[in-house]
Amino acid sequence: MPDSVENEKNYVNASLLIEALMLEDIDSFRKEFVELHPYDQAQFYTGLEADIRPKVYLYLSPEEMAGLFENIEIEEEEYENLLAEMAPAYVAEMLSHMYADDAADVLNELDKEQAVSYLTIMDDEAAKEIKVLLSYEEYTAGSIMTTEYIAISANQTVRSAMYILKKEAPQAETIYYVYVVGDDRKLVGVISLRNLIIADDETMISEVMFDRVVAVSVSEDQEEVARKMRDYNFLAVPVVDFQEHLIGIITVDDILDVIDEEASDDYSKLAGVSDLDRVDKNPFAAAKKRLPWLVILLFLGMMTASLIGRFEETLSQKAILAVFIPLIAGMAGNTGTQALAVAVRGIATGDLEEESMWKLIIREAGTGLITGATCGILVTFIVFIWQHDLVLGLLVGVSIFATLIVATLAGSLVPLFMHKMKIDPAVASGPFITTINDIISILIYFGMATLFMSYLS
C-alpha cells in the first residue's frame, strides 16, 4: 500500500466545493478553496464542467486566480477557451499578478491578436516585462527565465541585504539565492539565503558572497541550462546578456519541466511519433500526428521493395532466399537503433565531447565486429542444421556479420554527423536508421547471394 498517506488524507474535498458552487455559497467555497495548494486548486478547477466553472471567477480575486493559473496543466488549445470565459480586464489583472515567465507562457498559447489585446489593457510595468520575455526565441534560456529576482550591491551589510530580502520576498520568484550586481548591473556574485542567515549581521556582502558565479547566456539552449542546474545542484541560475548584465533567473521548477519535455521529445522521435499525443485525444488527432511519419516510411519502404525487385531473377531461382530477408533486415535495424540510442543520449547528456567522437566511432566499429561475429557464427549453425545447406548457412551468416558492422557504424555516424551539422540528432530517429539499414542489409545479402548463386544447393 504505497499510497496509504495519500488515501487517508484527502487533500481536496471536491464534493464540498462543488456543492458550495451550486448553492452559490461563497463563504464555504472560499473557506475550503483558498487553503488548498495552488496545484490542487488548478486540478479542481480544470476538472470542473464548463457550465459551473465561470462561478469560480466571481468568488476569487484576479490575484488568487493568478496563483492557480501558474500551476495549471492543460493542452495548449484549452487556454483560449478558459480565458474567453473571463472578462478581459479580469484576465489582464490576473496576468499582471502572475510571475512574468508564467504569464508569458500563457500568452504564448494564444493567437497573436488576442495576446496583444490583453497586453494593451494590462498594467504598463507588467506588460513591459512580459513583452521582453515573449521576444526571446523558443527553447533558449531567455524564453524560460523570469525577471522577478532579488539583486543587491556588494558593498552593503548582511543586515541591509536581509532587509531588502524581507521587503521583496512576496514578489520574487525565489529568495533562496540573492544575486550581487555592480553599478552597471554586471553580475559579480551570488549568496544563498542559507549563508546570509548564518553570516554575522554586520559583515559586508562582498566578504561572504561567492564570486565565481555560474551563469547562463540568454541565448543558451534550455537543455544546456538544465544540464548545468543538475550538475551544480542549483535551485536557480542567473541569466546574463552578452555584456554580462544580469537580466533574469531560471528556477529549478521550470527546469524539471524542461528535462521532462526534452526526454519525451527524444523518446518520441526514437519511436517515430512527431509528438507524443496525450491519451485523451481522439483517433483523428492521433492519426494526424503519426501519418506523416508512416507515409515517409512507406515511401522509403517502397524503395527497399524496388531494390529487392532487381533481384527478382535470383529470387525466382532460389525462393528460400526470401525467408531470411526479415531476419537480416531486422537485425540491421535493431543494432542500428542501439548504436543510435547510445550516440543520441551521449550528445543529449553532454557525455559526448568533441574529442571523444572519434573514440566513439572506433568503439562502435569494434562493437559491431564482436556482435557481428557472434551472431554470424550462430546463424550459420542454425541455418545449416535447419536447411542442411552449409553454403546457404554461410551466406546468411556472413551477411549478418557484414550487416551488423555496417549498421552499427551507420547508427552512430548519422547522429554524430547531424550534430556536427547543427541538426538535432534525435531527428535521425529509429525508423530512419532502420530503413537505411534495411537497404544496406539487402544490398549486402542479395549482392552476395547473386555472387555465390552457383554454389547454393
Residues 110-149 contacting a copy of itself, CB under 8 A? 140
CA distance 107 to 386: 65
Rule CB under 8 A: choose which of 27, 138, 212, 421 binds a copy of itself: 212
Question: Minimum distance between the CB of residue 212 and a copy of itself, rounded to whole angstroms?
Answer: 6
Rule CB under 8 A: choose which of 75, 80, 85, 351 binds a copy of itself: 351
For residues 329 and 438, is the Cβ–Cβ distance under 8 A? yes
Sign of the CA dihedral with 23 first, then 27, 28, and 33 last: positive
Q: Does 34 bind a copy of itself (CB under 8 A)?
A: no
Rule CB under 8 A: choose which of 98, 115, 209, 352 binds a copy of itself: 352
Q: Which CB atom, from 60 or from 383, has the smaller least distance to a copy of itself? A: 383
Question: Long-range contacts: 172-176, Cβ < 8 Å, 24+?
Answer: 172/148, 173/99, 173/101, 173/146, 173/148, 173/149, 173/236, 173/249, 173/251, 174/149, 174/235, 174/236, 174/249, 174/251, 175/150, 176/235, 176/236
Q: Which CB atom, from 65 or from 215, has the smaller least distance to a copy of itself? A: 215
> Cell triple for residue 176?
533562496
Q: Which of 327, 412, 431, 400 is nearest to 366 (CA)?
A: 412
**204 strand-pairing partners:** 157
Contacts of residue 375, defined as CB under 8 A and 6 or more positions apart, other chains included, come to: 331, 400, 401, 404
Q: Does 264 bind a copy of itself (CB under 8 A)?
A: yes
Q: Does 415 bind a copy of itself (CB under 8 A)?
A: no
Query: Hey, which residues between 376 and 405 contact a copy of itself (CB under 8 A)?
Result: 378-379, 382, 386, 404
Q: Does 451 bind a copy of itself (CB under 8 A)?
A: no
Task: Return the H-helix or E-strand segment holding 174.
Answer: none
Q: Does 330 bind a copy of itself (CB under 8 A)?
A: yes
Q: DSSP string covering 348-398, please?
A: HHT-S-GGGHHHHHHHHHHHHHHHHHHHHHHHHHHHHHHHS-HHHHHHHHH
- Given the C-alpha cell 537543455, which residue does it identify? 223
Q: Does 255 bind a copy of itself (CB under 8 A)?
A: yes
Rule CB under 8 A: choose which of 53, 268, 389, 443 binds a copy of itself: 268
Query: Hey, which residues between 162 and 191 contact a copy of itself (CB under 8 A)?
Result: 165-166, 169-170, 175-176
Rule CB under 8 A: choose which of 89, 309, 427, 457 binds a copy of itself: 309
Q: Does 272 bind a copy of itself (CB under 8 A)?
A: yes
Rule CB under 8 A: choose which of 249, 329, 410, 428 binds a copy of itself: 329
The three-class DSSP label of residue 118 is helix
Q: What is the total count of residues that contact a copy of itself (CB under 8 A)? A: 137
Q: Which CB atom, from 55 or from 230, has the smaller least distance to a copy of itself? A: 230
Q: Which CB atom, from 130 or from 360, has the smaller least distance to a copy of itself? A: 360
> Cell triple for residue 448?
552476395
Q: Does 281 bind a copy of itself (CB under 8 A)?
A: yes
* Interface segment toward a copy of itself; rule CB under 8 A; list 53-61, 87-95, 115-123, 369-377: 369-377
CA distance 115 to 344: 37
Q: Does 349 bind a copy of itself (CB under 8 A)?
A: yes
Q: Does 327 bind a copy of itself (CB under 8 A)?
A: yes
Contacts of residue 160, defined as CB under 8 A and 6 or more positions apart, other chains included, come to: none
Rule CB under 8 A: choose which of 19, 22, 52, 267 binds a copy of itself: 267
Q: Which of 4, 77, 11, 82 is nearest to 44 (CA)?
A: 11
Q: Which CB atom, from 120 or from 317, has the smaller least distance to a copy of itself? A: 317
For residues 223 and 194, is the Cβ–Cβ distance under 8 A? no
Question: Minimum distance between the CB of residue 402 and a copy of itself, rounded to whole angstroms?
Answer: 15
Q: Count Cα neighbours of 444 within 13 Å in the Cβ-side half-sphere.
A: 24
CA distance 297 to 449: 26
Q: Does 277 bind a copy of itself (CB under 8 A)?
A: yes
Q: Does 423 bind a copy of itself (CB under 8 A)?
A: no
Quote the distance between the C-alpha of residue 140 and its chain's center.
Answer: 13
* Interface segment toward a copy of itself; rule CB under 8 A; list 59-67, 128-136, 151-159, 215-223: 215-223
Q: Does 453 bind a copy of itself (CB under 8 A)?
A: no
Q: Which CB atom, from 122 or from 236, has the smaller least distance to a copy of itself? A: 236
Q: Across 33-176, where does the E strand assignment appear?
A: 151-152
* Interface segment toward a copy of itself; rule CB under 8 A; list 18-26, 88-96, 150-158, 329-337: 329-337
